[in-house]
Amino acid sequence: MYIKICGLSTPETVRTAVDAGADAVGFVFAPGSPRTVDPGLAARLVADVPETVETVGVFRDQPIDEVIGIARAAGVGTVQLHGSEPDDDLRRLVDEGLRPFRALSASAFGGLSEARRSALGAYRLLIDAAEPGAGVTFDETELGRRPEGFWLLAGGLTPENAARLFRFFEPSGVDVSSGVESARGVKDPVRIEAFVAAARGAAGRASE
Ligand SMILES: O=C(O)c1ccccc1N[C@@H]1O[C@H](COP(=O)(O)O)[C@@H](O)[C@H]1O
């Protein structure tokens, strides 16, 4: 079970996520989010993250050269693309030594052709609700067949619903942002710890 805590912007909450046992921490570089950080702040936060924890930059419909420049400046090793970026952008990230996550809404993924599914199977997927970062879950009928390979479930996860949704969707891992906040854009260390514990607990029970 892979756990990603996203939308971090303070040293304290990054430390809480790492100490709680998160596999990845995410920083939002998409403009217009209450969680958007500049690359300089992200670089200072990334400097305190152990190498065993993946660092992820979140982008949405930004030019790929800009994405690569920000990822380099911030020092993140992984790039999560949330918009309608072409597959060429994913290939370019791989060529640049960055690890891509392709984020898609559940309904978009559910509507893909077999050929498109298998093309995307080359990448790690993140299946989200229609409006990323809004803390909204998608309807359980929207996804249909689960992706093959490694994929993360996102969209409105919380410490309270993580175990149930993990058991229902059986993803490779989970990703959360709004659900571990006390107010929009403000991360809550207690909820981060509770989320990691709930997700780990559910994964442990699933493997028994
Ligand atoms: O967090 C944002 O504001 C954001 C902005 C643009 C693209 C993605 C964004 N967030 C990502 O959305 C998912 C799910 O978030 P939530 O748990 O429903 O709040 C997650 O990967 C966030 O990083």
Residue 137 sits in a domain whose CATH number is 3.20.20.70
pLDDT tens column, 150-200? 999 999 999 999 999 999 999 999 999 999 999 999 999 999 999 999 999
Q: Please state the three-class secondary structure of the chain as a single string.
A: CEEEECCCCCHHHHHHHHHHCCCEEEEECCCCCCCECCHHHHHHHHCCCCCCCEEEEEECCCCHHHHHHHHHHHCCCEEEECCCCCHHHHHHHHHCCCEEEEEEEHHHHHCCCHHHHHHHCCCEEEEECCCCCCCCCCCCCCCCCCCCCCEEECCCCCCCCHHHHHHHHCCCEEEECHHHEEECCEECHHHHHHHHHHHHHHHHHHCC
Question: Is the predicted pLDDT of residue 33 greater than 60, yes or no?
Answer: yes
Ligand 1 atom index nearest CA of 26:
23
**Contact yes or no for 70/170 (Cβ under 8 A):** no
Question: Is the predicted pLDDT of residue 207 greater than 60, yes or no?
Answer: no
Residue identifier of the C-alpha nearest atom 1 of ligand 1: 133
Nearest of 83, 165, 87 to residue 123 by alpha carbon: 87
* Ligand 1 residue neighbourhood (C-beta within 6 Å): 6-7, 26, 28, 30, 33, 35, 58, 60, 82, 128, 132-135, 154-157, 175-179
Residue identifier of the C-alpha nearest atom 8 of ligand 1: 132
**Contact yes or no for 13/189 (Cβ under 8 A):** yes
Question: Is the predicted pLDDT of residue 11 greater than 70, yes or no?
Answer: yes
Tell me how far the alpha carbon of residue 133 lies from the centroid of ligand 1, in angstroms.
3
Tell me how far the alpha carbon of residue 208 lies from the centroid of ligand 1, in angstroms.
31
Q: Quick one: average pLDDT of 9-13?
A: 98
Question: Is the predicted pLDDT of residue 121 greater than 90, yes or no?
Answer: no
pLDDT confidence tier of residue 208, bands split at 50, 70 and 90: low
Residues acting as catalytic residues: 6, 128
Q: What percent of the chain has pLDDT over 70?
A: 98
Task: Look up the ipTM and state it.
Answer: 0.98
- Domain ranges, residue 31: 2-206
Total tally of structural domains belonging to the chain: 1
